[in-house]
């Protein structure tokens, strides 16, 4: 059977509705997909043509956006260093391109920075490896600079109103 009528071919990683996996075979009536869990999923081509399909093979780069929170006790001079520290780390990583790093907001329990960068590959494993390398490097740099990551905290104020008789 010809596959020129469908927006994917065997070997492509697709997401169709709630289903995702690698296309193994495209038949006349059905398409066979190997899911991430390893099972074979058989979907009717009629069903596939009625839903939105994401084809990750066509992806040339991946955009990564994440927020990083540091403690409110972080001194302003260290806060000002954070964007440069993160930019330097991402610029050292192969196949990555920094978009932005900035102090974004005052959160409930953290001072939040937004980081956006691109990995110039559509391959998931290259994205995951770059992300892991960057995350380890940020943790290492923050430990060296004595910058603490924030985690949910609460401060309780106790008022002493004992009246002496």
pLDDT, mean over the chain: 89
With a cut of 60, say whether residue 2 has pLDDT above it.
no
Confidence of residue 165 (pLDDT cuts 50, 70, 90): low
Given a cut of 70, whether residue 1 has pLDDT beyond it is no
Task: Please count the CA atoms within 13 angstroms of the CA of 26 that sit on its side-chain side.
Answer: 19
- Lowest mean pLDDT, pick from 42-46, 71-75, 98-102: 42-46
Which is higher by pLDDT, 22 or 143? Answer: 143
Residue carrying structure tokens 């169709």:
16
Q: Which long-range contacts (CB under 8 A, 24 or more apart) does 144-148 make?
A: 145/78, 145/81, 145/85, 146/78, 147/70, 147/74, 147/78, 147/81, 147/82, 148/70, 148/71, 148/73, 148/74
Using alpha carbons, select from 127, 100, 134 the residue that is nearest to residue 114.
Answer: 100
To the nearest whole percent, how much of the chain has pLDDT over 70? 93
pLDDT at residue 53, rounded to an integer: 86
What values do phi and psi take at 139, rounded to 5?
-60, -45
Angle between helices 124-145 and 76-92 (to 10 degrees): 150
Give the pair of three-digit tokens for residue 148. Answer: 């603490």
Distance CA 49, CA 31 (A): 11
pLDDT in tens, 21-62: 899 999 989 999 998 888 999 999 888 888 888 888 778 889
pLDDT at 14: 86
Find out whether 150 and 72 touch, Cβ atoms under 8 Å: yes
Residues 147-163 pLDDT 10s: 999 988 777 778 777 66
């Amino acid at each position: 059977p010809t596959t020129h009528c469908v927006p994917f071919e065997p070997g492509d990683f697709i997401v169709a509705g709630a289903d995702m996996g690698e296309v193994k075979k495209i038949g006349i009536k059905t398409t066979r997909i190997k899911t991430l869990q390893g099972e074979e999923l058989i979907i009717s081509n009629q069903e596939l043509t009625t839903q939105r399909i994401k084809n990750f093979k066509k992806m040339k780069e991946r955009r990564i956006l994440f927020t990083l929170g540091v403690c409110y006790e972080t001194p302003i001079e260290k806060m000002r260093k954070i964007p440069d520290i993160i930019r330097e780390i991402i610029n050292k990583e192969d196949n990555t391109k920094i978009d932005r790093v900035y102090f974004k907001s005052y959160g409930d329990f953290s001072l939040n920075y937004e980081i956006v960068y691109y990995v110039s590959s559509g391959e998931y494993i290259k994205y995951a490896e770059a992300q892991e390398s960057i995350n380890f490097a940020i943790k290492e740099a923050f430990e060296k600079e004595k910058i603490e990551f924030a985690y949910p905290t609460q401060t309780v104020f106790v008022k002493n109103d004992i009246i002496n008789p």
